[in-house]
């Protein structure tokens, strides 16, 4: 079994050989490491993407808007991911972001996962009726993990999920009331042993 370090280094070198700069190649290496860490087929899709890249031209998107439509080609998942990372503090104010035609959307996922950690919010991405939840770069949850990821996503929607408790006030108050049974009642002996007790004030 290959180590995560081997995966990252090899993906980085292969990306440089495929025409990307060392800086972008380093980002790709990190992202493929992340996909494989979460048991997603990063190496498989990166291989396939680079084979297609020799024959096809993928479109770059330098400025991410609420609605993004390529002129004629599919968006490059790597350059799109880099743009998303660079602009995340600006575009997180959008309720939804829509993309048409992303090539190899699985390669775009780890960039979103890292964005989730930066803004401290979960990100949901849905493409072609498939939903994926990215949770602060801690995990990537999807109900179709055992199914084949598509090479091209025709319609992609991204939502930033506002942080909120996953329980009601009633549930919280009930649990907190139970926790109060562990509180220790303050006594004179505890006061005397508390931090700073018994020190002489020289002022």
Q: What predicted TM-score, i.e. pTM, was given to this entire model?
A: 0.84
What does the pLDDT look like over 108-119, one tens digit per residue? Answer: 999 999 999 999
3-state class (DSSP) for residue 182:
helix
Specify if 199 maps to a domain.
no
The pLDDT of residue 193: 61
More confident site: 26 or 188 = 26
Q: Report yes or no: 88 and 117 within 8 Å, Cβ to Cβ.
A: no
Q: Of all residues in the chain, what percent carry a pLDDT higher than 90?
A: 73
Q: Of all residues in the chain, what percent carry a pLDDT higher than 70?
A: 89
Specify if 45 maps to a domain.
yes
d(CA 79, CA 153): 16
Residue ranges of E strands in the chain: 67-68, 96-103, 122-127, 130-135, 139-142, 152-161
CA 41, 42, 43 angle in degrees (round to 5)? Answer: 100
**Mean pLDDT of the region 170-188:** 86
Highest mean pLDDT among 9-13, 36-40, 60-64: 9-13
Specify if 22 maps to a domain.
yes
Domain residues for the domain of 48 are: 4-161
| Residue 196 pLDDT exceeds 80 | no
The helix or strand, by DSSP H or E, that contains position 36, with its residue range, turns out to be helix 22-37
Beta bridge partners of 96: 159
> What is the token pair recorded at 111?
């960039």
Q: What is the mean pLDDT of the chain?
A: 90
What is the tally of structural domains in the chain?
Answer: 1
Q: How many other CB atoms are found less than 10 A from the CB of residue 11?
A: 24
Q: Report yes or no: 154 and 99 within 8 Å, Cβ to Cβ.
A: no
What does the pLDDT look like over 133-161, one tens digit per residue? Answer: 999 999 888 876 667 889 999 999 999 99
Specify if 181 maps to a domain.
no
Alpha helix segments (H runs only) across 72-165: 77-91, 109-119
**Mean pLDDT of the region 46-70:** 94
**Band (187; pLDDT cuts 50, 70, 90):** low
What does the pLDDT look like over 76-112, one tens digit per residue? Answer: 999 999 999 999 999 999 989 999 999 999 999 999 9
More confident site: 129 or 174 = 174
Length of the chain in residues, anyone?
203
Q: How many other CB atoms are found less than 10 A from the CB of residue 147?
A: 9
| Residue 184 pLDDT exceeds 70 | yes
Specify if 200 maps to a domain.
no
**Mean pLDDT of the region 119-124:** 95
């Amino acid at each position: 079994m290959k180590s995560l370090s081997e995966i990252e280094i090899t993906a980085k070198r292969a990306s440089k050989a495929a025409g990307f700069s060392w800086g972008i190649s380093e980002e790709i290496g990190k992202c493929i490491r992340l996909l494989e860490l979460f048991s997603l087929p990063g190496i498989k899709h990166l291989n396939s993407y680079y084979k297609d890249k020799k024959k096809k031209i993928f479109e770059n998107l330098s400025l991410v808007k609420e609605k993004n439509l390529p002129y004629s080609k599919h968006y490059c998942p790597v350059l799109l991911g880099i743009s998303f990372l660079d602009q995340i503090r600006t575009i997180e104010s959008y309720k939804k972001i829509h993309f048409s035609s992303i090539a190899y959307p699985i390669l775009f996922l780890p960039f979103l996962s890292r964005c989730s950690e930066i803004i401290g919010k979960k990100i949901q991405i849905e493409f072609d009726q498939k939903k994926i939840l990215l949770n602060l770069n801690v995990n990537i949850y999807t109900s179709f993990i055992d199914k084949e990821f598509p090479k091209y996503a025709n319609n992609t929607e991204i939502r930033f999920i506002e942080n909120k408790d996953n329980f009601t006030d009633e549930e919280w108050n009930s649990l907190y009331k139970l926790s109060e049974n562990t509180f220790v009642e303050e006594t004179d002996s505890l006061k005397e042993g508390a931090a700073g007790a018994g020190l002489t004030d020289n002022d």
